[in-house]
């Protein structure tokens, strides 16, 4: 606004100059008129300048007031904005602090859980390594025939010890023919003690599984059948002794896989074992068999205890009869004592009556004659 007023003043000055220059070129007659007009113009210019100066002052004052108000408003707005920003920054800082604290706590928990899981994984890895070592050791054991037999005996002993009481079995028992049985299960006659022998025909079975063609597989399967037949025959000849053992025996196979192979693909071998009275059992079927044996032993024991109970009951009945006789005799003594007491009471009553009569007699103090005593009461003498 101030710049526009200045431009207007400059324009007026320029116009005045032009007018003066034009007037000077005219004649004198017109110059006075022109001078008057110029004076009027100058006066108008001065008034316009004064008005312009007043307006400029007013505008400056208004602009100053407006600027001051604007500056104050801007300052207040800036202060409010600064305060709002500070509040928001504090809120953001608080939230960030809480979030960082929560994140730190969750991270610590996650790290702890991860450490625990890593420890479990490390332990599992160690167990796997140990198990691998044990599997390799077991593989070496199963490769040796004697070690394989010892493995079967140990497994048999563990199953028998878990299923039967200690008095119902005996390991490495020597029979009358000099043969040593892996396990002898003591059962009453009949059927008698049952022999269990551990066999592990693993070589032919493993060769059969690893065969490259059907011909080799069939050959090894046949070899497996022959090995089992030989074991069945040996058990039948060595461990079935009439009058000493039961008329059957058990062949323990410590492998469910070999047992399943025999029953699935070698039914003739199983039938031959039945005919030889040698029954093939696996760890699972051995446990079921021992459960039946335990039930038989429990029944035998119950029968023994029932006989003892029956004998004790008979003895108790005899004692009860004797007690009844003694009670009857005691009752007789009580009856006799009651009769004696009745007689004593009768005698005492008579004696009391006689004493009363004697007490009431007049002894003759006035000179009267005293009567002789009367004869005794015969009923009193009888008592």
For residue 242, cis peptide bond before it (omega within 30 degrees of 0): no
Average pLDDT over residues 66-83: 77
pLDDT at 216: 84
Contact 222, 213 (CB under 8 A): no
For residue 102, cis peptide bond before it (omega within 30 degrees of 0): no
Grade residue 38 by pLDDT with cuts at 50, 70 and 90.
Answer: low
Tokens of 44: 């108008």
Average pLDDT over residues 159-173: 86
Which of 64-78, 215-229, 241-255, 262-276 is predicted with the least confidence, judged by mean pLDDT?
64-78
Contact 251, 279 (CB under 8 A): yes
Grade residue 125 by pLDDT with cuts at 50, 70 and 90.
Answer: confident
Residues 6+ apart with CB under 8 A from 23: 30, 31, 34, 35, 38
Average pLDDT over residues 77-86: 78
HSE toward the beta carbon, residue 372, CA cutoff 13 A: 3
Three-state SS at 280: strand
pLDDT over 70 percentage in the chain: 76
Q: How far is CA 10 from CA 39, 147, 181, 269, 355, in A?
A: 18, 129, 142, 137, 186
Q: Is the pLDDT of residue 168 over 80?
A: yes
CA distance 270 to 264: 10
Q: What is the dihedral of CA 211, 216, 218, 219, to 10 degrees?
A: -120
Reported as a single tens digit per residue, the pLDDT across 196-236 is 888 877 777 877 777 778 888 888 888 888 888 888 888 88
Q: Is the pLDDT of residue 133 over 80?
A: no
Q: Which range, 7-21, 98-112, 232-246, is most confident?
A: 232-246
Helices (H), 144-213: 145-163, 202-209
Tokens of 51: 């008005």
Average pLDDT over residues 88-105: 78
Which of 78-87, 130-139, 271-280 is predicted with the least confidence, judged by mean pLDDT?
130-139
Grade residue 140 by pLDDT with cuts at 50, 70 and 90.
Answer: very low
Grade residue 261 by pLDDT with cuts at 50, 70 and 90.
Answer: confident
Give every strand in the sheet of 245-252, ordered side by side: 169-174, 180-185, 193-198, 245-252, 278-281
Q: How far is CA 16 from CA 9, 27, 38, 51, in A?
A: 11, 18, 7, 18
Beta-bridge partners for 251: 197, 280
pLDDT at 325: 82
Residues 6+ apart with CB under 8 A from 220: 204, 205, 207, 208, 211
Q: Is the pLDDT of residue 162 over 50?
A: yes
Tokens of 169: 């079995």
HSE toward the beta carbon, residue 13, CA cutoff 13 A: 7
Reported as a single tens digit per residue, the pLDDT across 302-342 is 777 666 777 777 788 788 888 888 888 888 888 888 888 88
pLDDT at 205: 80
Q: Is the pLDDT of residue 161 over 50?
A: yes
One-character DSSP codes across 199-253: ---HHHHHHHHT-SSHHHHHHHHHHHHHHHHHHHHHHHHHH--TTTEEEEEEEE-
CA distance 345 to 327: 27
Residues 6+ apart with CB under 8 A from 16: 38, 41, 42, 45
Which of 22-31, 48-57, 94-103, 137-146 is predicted with the least confidence, judged by mean pLDDT?
137-146
């Amino acid at each position: 606004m101030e710049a526009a007023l200045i431009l207007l003043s400059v324009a007026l000055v320029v116009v005045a100059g032009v007018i003066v220059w034009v007037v000077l070129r005219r004649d004198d007659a017109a110059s006075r008129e022109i001078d008057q007009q110029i004076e009027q113009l100058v006066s108008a210019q001065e008034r316009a300048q004064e008005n312009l100066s007043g307006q400029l002052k007013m505008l400056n004052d208004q602009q100053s007031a407006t600027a001051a108000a604007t500056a104050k408003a801007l300052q207040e707005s800036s202060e409010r904005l600064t305060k709002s920003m500070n509040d928001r920054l504090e809120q953001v800082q608080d939230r960030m602090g809480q979030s960082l604290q929560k994140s730190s706590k969750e991270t610590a928990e996650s790290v702890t859980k991860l450490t625990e899981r890593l420890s479990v994984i490390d332990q599992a890895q160690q167990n796997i390594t140990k198990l691998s070592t044990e599997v390799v050791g077991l593989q070496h054991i199963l490769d040796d025939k004697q070690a394989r037999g010892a493995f079967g005996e140990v497994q048999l002993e563990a199953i028998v010890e878990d299923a039967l009481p200690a008095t119902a079995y005996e390991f490495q028992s020597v029979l009358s023919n000099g043969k040593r049985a892996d396990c002898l299960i003591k059962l009453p006659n009949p059927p008698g003690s049952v022999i269990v022998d551990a066999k592990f025909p693993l070589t032919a079975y493993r060769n059969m599984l690893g065969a490259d063609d059907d011909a080799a597989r069939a050959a090894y399967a046949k070899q497996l059948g022959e090995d089992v037949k030989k074991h069945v025959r040996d058990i039948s000849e060595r461990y079935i002794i009439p009058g000493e053992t039961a008329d059957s025996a058990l062949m323990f196979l410590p492998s469910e896989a070999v047992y399943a192979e025999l029953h699935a693909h070698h039914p003739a071998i199983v039938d031959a074992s039945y005919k030889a009275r040698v029954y093939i059992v696996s760890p699972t079927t051995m446990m079921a068999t021992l459960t039946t044996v335990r039930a038989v032993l429990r029944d035998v024991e119950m029968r023994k205890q029932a006989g003892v109970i029956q004998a004790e009951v008979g003895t108790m009945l005899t004692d009860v009869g004797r007690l009844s006789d003694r009670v009857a005799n005691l009752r007789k003594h009580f009856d006799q004592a009651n009769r004696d007491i009745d007689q004593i009471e009768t005698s005492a009553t008579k004696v009391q009556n006689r004493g009363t009569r004697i007490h009431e007699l007049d002894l003759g103090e006035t000179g009267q004659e005293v009567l002789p005593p009367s004869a005794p009461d015969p009923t009193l003498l009888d008592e």
